Chains A and B, each alone.
Chain A
Amino acid sequence: MAITDKDFEQLRDFIYNLCGMYFHTTKKYFLESRLTRRMEVTGSKTAMEYYSLLKSSRGGEELRFLLDEVTTNETYFFRSVPQLNAVESKFLPEIVESKGKMGFRKLRIWSAGSSSGEEAYTLAMMLLEKRATIMKDWIIEIIGTDINETVLAQAREGVYNAYSVRNVPDLYKRKYFKEDAGKFILSPEVKKFVTFNKLNLYEDNKMVFMKSFDFIFCANVLIYFDLASKSKVVQHFYNNLQPYGYFFVGQSESLHGVNDKFKTVHFPGGFGYKK
């Protein structure tokens, strides 16, 4: 079902203000198709009728369904290419240089809300490729956390379908995956750098132990939280980063109004946050 530009803008603003997720104009078609499904389920006849539902007292629950709908299939290897490029060409060399000078050769990365592990493993592969150069003799620790045991088990297993690996460059695919009956099995060489733990981001007493990260990634998680929880979790991320560390959210997410300590750092195709 096509929605008018005006309806699209209204829905976009509503979702942005509530969740901090922005729908680019180029994503109108995508939002339309996902909305259509939710409208069918809820029996809304027009986009505005659905919008009224979102604003109603039952809106919170429906919004979660809509967010699930728009973020589903969002987990795959090499998802946020602009982020990865910026880390690889700019932020990682910068951190490696300053830490190296202090004689501190250990890099810690946290993939918060790691789901089935694609993001954490993507980072591991990227760093492995630098084993001969800037990451030589470095200790690499990548930690993936999620609240859901099922996805954690999948992550630990490291077996993926063709959809998950569709963005993996050929070089990486040949080097780090073994294909078997349509499944892609991740090499132990990559897996050994990543550990997966169960963690609820709301649990303050556990969050305080996630210390000294150089990079934290948290995509498509905070959009589900209300402002107070968001602020609290983001403050934990801030505290858990090294003084020069970087924090990245999903590619259309925004932390505006959530935390005023992080500084925006802009790079080709996106932005991140610096402590």
Chain B
Amino acid sequence: MTTETTMEIARQMVASIDDLPTIPAVATQVMQLLDAPDVDVDKVADLMLSDQVMTARVMKMVNSPIYKPSQEITSLKRALVYLGIRHIKEMALTSSFINAFEDNSGAMDISTFWEHSFGVGMVSKVIAEKIRYADIEKAYLAGIIHDIGEVVLSNYHTETFAKVIKTIQEHPVKLIDTELEVFGTTHTEIGFCMAEKWNFPEAYREVILFHHEPRAATADPVLCSIVNLADLFCSVRELYYGGNAWASFNLSEEVGWKILKEQSPNLAHLDVERFCYELDDAVPQVRELVTSIFSKQ
């Protein structure tokens, strides 16, 4: 549970970091351009091309199995046309996040972190589609950024966080509870403080803060619930930080599930079993995507 104390500790923790990663200017500009009513694809392409790292990342992502192009897409302009504006937005943002957090000196292997993040992003997207949530890409992005606070713990409190990871692998305890015990705060408050610094829209900040307690959300509890459930489903697949042998959940008792069913009653008829099997099928795709993003070629 987020309290004034946990929030204050998180705030101080984030304030004490001198070299907190920034979201590149190009990403912000791309976002602004894409939000304009009549988007000029050429302009977006030019702007993105000015950031070579972003261009390379977007090209790798568009050619990954998740987006399934029938033949390799070799130019950014074609990628923009193939994907459409909305997808470019998610890719530009994703790419910037990866740039901001690709340092691999933390306690947690950074590609493990991204596998979980992309996994939750992808599952969020699928759930959003199932409940006909208005903004599928928003759900995807929210999923990708939900655990951003973990990177701070991993990169700036490396030794202590390594012990936390070891604890959750060896004992039947939850990551968030262990963080609270050890740091006096958790990745949710820390992530929230970072999102504030980066001027993220409220719905995203809320997902970061409340993805473990979706009932606490006020701006968009449905979005929080989507990410909450996606996180749970990933925690019982090979898309979690170094495994999670004790994870288990009873879907019908989950708050996030209840909120989504209130929103979308037809969810009660979802073929949960098939949904799970299809998620299993998607796990290698997520891993391939992350591998391709981090490959040096």
For B236, what are the chain A residues with a Cβ–Cβ distance below 8 Å?
266-269
Q: Closest residue of chain A to B272, judged by CB?
A: A264
Q: Which of A22, A24, A25, A266 contacts B232 (CB 8 A)?
A: A266
Please state if B252 and A266 are interface contacts (CB–CB under 8 Å): no
- In the complex the two chains form, what is the Cα distance from A98 to B272 in whole Å? 28
Do A89 and B251 have beta carbons less than 8 Å apart? no
Task: Tell me which of B246, B274, B280 contacts A90 (CB under 8 A).
Answer: B246
Q: Given that A24-B280, A256-B274, A268-B243 are known contacts, is A89 also in contact with B172, CB under 8 Å in the complex?
A: yes
Whole-angstrom distance between the Cβ of A220 and the nearest chain B Cβ: 15
Determine the chain A residues whose CB is within 8 A of the CB of B69 once the complex forms: none
Return chain B residues, CB-CB under 8 Å to A90. 172, 246, 248
Q: Contact at B276–A271, with CB atoms within 8 Å?
A: yes
Q: Using a Cβ–Cβ cut-off of 8 Å, how many residues does chain A contribute to the interface with B?
A: 26
A173 at the interface (CB under 8 A from B): no
Q: How far is the CB of B272 from chain A (nearest CB, A)?
A: 5
Interface assignment of A16: CB less than 8 Å from any CB of chain B? yes
CB distance from B212 to the nearest CB of A (A): 16
Number of interface residues of B (CB under 8 A): 25
Give residues of chain A (64-95) contacting chain B, Cβ–Cβ below 8 Å: 85-86, 89-90
| A188 interface hit (Cβ, 8 Å) | no
A252 adjacent to chain B (CB < 8 Å): yes
Bound: A86/B46 CA distance, A: 52
11 other contacts beyond A263-B252, A265-B251, A267-B248, with CB at 8 A cut-off? A22-B273, A22-B277, A86-B248, A254-B277, A256-B274, A263-B250, A263-B251, A266-B233, A266-B236, A268-B237, A271-B272
Task: Pick 27 A–B contacts, CB within 8 A, sort by A.
Answer: A16-B274, A24-B280, A24-B281, A25-B281, A26-B281, A26-B284, A86-B248, A90-B172, A252-B277, A254-B271, A254-B273, A255-B273, A257-B271, A263-B252, A264-B272, A265-B249, A266-B232, A266-B236, A266-B276, A267-B247, A268-B237, A268-B243, A268-B244, A268-B245, A268-B247, A269-B236, A269-B237
Report which A residues bind B (CB closer than 8 A): 16, 20, 22, 24-26, 85-86, 89-90, 252-257, 263-271, 274
User: Which residues of B come within 8 Å of A, CB atoms?
Assistant: 172, 232-233, 236-237, 243-253, 271-274, 276-277, 280-281, 284
